[in-house]
A and B are shown apart, each in its own frame.
Chain A
Amino acid sequence: MSTTQLTAGFLPLLDSILLVLAREKGFAEDEGLDLTLFRETSWANIRDRAALGHFDIAQMLAPMPLASSLGLTPLATPMIAPIVLGLGNNAITVSGALWQAMAGQGAPGNLDPTPTGAALAKVVKASPRKLRFGVVHQTSSHNYELRYWLSASGIMPDRDIEIVVLPPPLLPDALGSGGIDGYCVGEPWNSVGVATRGGHIATVKALIWQSSPDKVLGMREAWADAHPDLVASAIRAVYRAGLWCADPANHPEAAAIMSGAAYLNQPPAIVGRALTGMLDIGNGVLQQVPGYYIPHASAANFPWKSHALWYYSQMVRWGEVTASESHAAIAAACFRPDLYRQALAPLAAPLPLADFKTDGEHARTHNILAENGPLSMGPDRFFDGAIFDPEALDRYIASQLAQR
């Protein structure tokens, strides 16, 4: 069978796994794609090289296509995301010293974001210097999650602490050398920080906002319009990679593949933690985190327009973009459930009927209306009990700005 060349950029993070498996397990080839992967050193490179057409598609931070389409970035090319590369996968890791201080203020050591955040607030208040936290990019889910957790815990990010940007693989070293006191990053870099730098995982994305999106497959809108068949093939390849990755029987092989020098270049035992959700949170304490990284279940790959709007609400909250109807429309248009449905129709995959959903209302597993359904969804609560209803976007933004 003849194949079409498709180039994809990625960063060394566990949630590049669906792209890696699409290549390594032949899902891309089955779709007629000769998928070539390029490991990059920075999100800025991913963004720029995707914008210039050096990469057809790329692993991107979920807010990245929004930032590009909203004109917040240098090349400001309209970008879309027709499939999500999984839910969760991030955590907030702090230095051993900061953890000691937090434990002294009552942090329970069970990842619960509420008491852990309260303990951190006390430490921040008592600290003679500003604590410094690292995130991986300005318009990243990590930046917004960290800020969300801090704010809801009574810490004002822009006043009480300092946030700096570092590439994921350098964060554990920065923590170890005392350059930063903590960081929010995707796996395996939390586990690496614990294993090699005496870090302690304070809390995780899966508990700050359950079943929330993190990376997407991003691409130029113009390219996607010109190559609908390639887009559909890529969606199916990634979807089937997610299905394969979700099977616990495949976790050892998946971890072995990701541990390779070309991908994460870390021991399989560390790489595998995010896949099984069994984390070493520090000092050898093991904790099972349900839904730590979700590659397939809970419609993990479906690009909800409401999720795009949540990231947009955070961009407004932190002063990166002004609130307006047209900006909201641009943001929502970046996520493309229509392309997702079209591509997966031949697989008889369960497809949500709606493009938007409310997050924060479900503490348990529940079903939603879907074609070829019903579709079982995981819990979707925010740890502070807030509810994000895309119908009431303005009210949500107003309430968050009031918290600033």
Chain B
Amino acid sequence: MSNAALSILIIDENRIRASIIESGLREAGHTRVTVIHDVNEVARTIEASSPDVVVVDLENPQRDMLEHFFSLSRAIQRPIAMFVDRSDGAMIEKAVEAGVSAYVVDGLKKERVKSILDMAISRFNAFSRLTRELEQARSELEDRRILDQAKGILMKTRGLSEADAYALLRSTAMNQNRRMVDIAQSLVTAASLLGP
């Protein structure tokens, strides 16, 4: 497959995300994929591997440096265009929304690059979904820990059963129109202020 001949450079300080993209590209039949995490290596790596496509995440503050490097390359007769194609507004919008941007050597067939960027975008989206879910799971765990602590305090100080302590927290939350975890948090804070 001719796609396999394209050399692709992924620049991402986030190792997990970079490896997710890399594996996606390899699954799609691209064998010449280089990943770098250390931005200080950018210039040297580009020079050494002269990639056809560079995929970079927008959180990377080195985008300015990359573009500078590309413009120098342009000066030495290695024309490089940025993004996929200036005229493809929807694609660019999708890419930036997902937090990814691609830099492409001029003259490359647009359709071939598009599939690479499409893949990168979907991987970026999948990664941020994963991160969001992890974050949510983490905060749910934290919420439960605070609820348990608050229940414990009520059980100890008011002599309530676990079920009654839970019911008290819930009715207080409903009366005050606040989240249960917020009520629990204030109880835990108050208890820590009042001492053992």
Residues in A lying within 8 Å of B, measured CB to CB = 41-45, 48-49, 52, 54, 73-76, 136-138, 164-167, 169-170, 179, 319-320
Contacts and interface: CB of A to CB of B under 8 A. Distances in A.
The DSSP consensus for interface residues of chain A is loop
Nearest to A174: B40
B174 interface: no
Contacts of B75: 319
B26 interface: no
Given A44-B67, A74-B82, 6 more contacts: A41-B59, A41-B61, A45-B63, A137-B64, A167-B62, A170-B61
B46 to A, nearest CB: 13
Contacts of B65: 164-166
Contacts of A48: 92, 96, 101
20 contacts: A42-B60, A42-B62, A42-B64, A44-B63, A44-B64, A45-B63, A48-B101, A52-B92, A52-B96, A54-B96, A76-B86, A138-B64, A138-B68, A138-B71, A164-B68, A165-B64, A165-B67, A165-B69, A319-B75, A320-B71
Contacts of A43: 64
Contacts of A165: 64-65, 67-69
A165 B86 CA distance: 24
A387 B59 CA distance: 41
Nearest to B82: A74
B164 interface: no
A75 B71 CA distance: 15
A75 B61 contact: no
B83 interface: yes
Contacts of B59: 41
B93 interface: yes
Contacts of B173: none
Interface string B74-118: 010000011100100000110010000100000000000000000
Contacts, number: 60
A319 B75 CA distance: 9
Interface in B1-16: none
Given A54-B96, A165-B68, A179-B40, A45 B83 contact: no
Nearest to B40: A179
B67 to A, nearest CB: 6
Contact of A52 (B67, B71, B93): B93
B58 interface: yes
Q: Which of B58, B68, B96 has the most CB of A within 10 A?
A: B68
A390 B142 CA distance: 64
A185 to B, nearest CB: 12
Interface string B147-185: 000000000000000000000000000000000000000
B96 A74 contact: no
A142 B66 CA distance: 17
Contacts of B96: 48-49, 52, 54
Nearest to B43: A164
A179 B38 CA distance: 14
Contacts of B92: 48, 52, 75
Query: Which A-B residue pairs are the 7 nearest by beta carbons?
Result: A74-B82, A167-B61, A165-B68, A44-B63, A41-B61, A165-B65, A42-B63
Nearest to A320: B71
Given A48-B96, A179-B40, A75 B64 contact: no
B53 to A, nearest CB: 14
A136 B66 CA distance: 12
Contacts of A49: 96
A207 B5 CA distance: 53
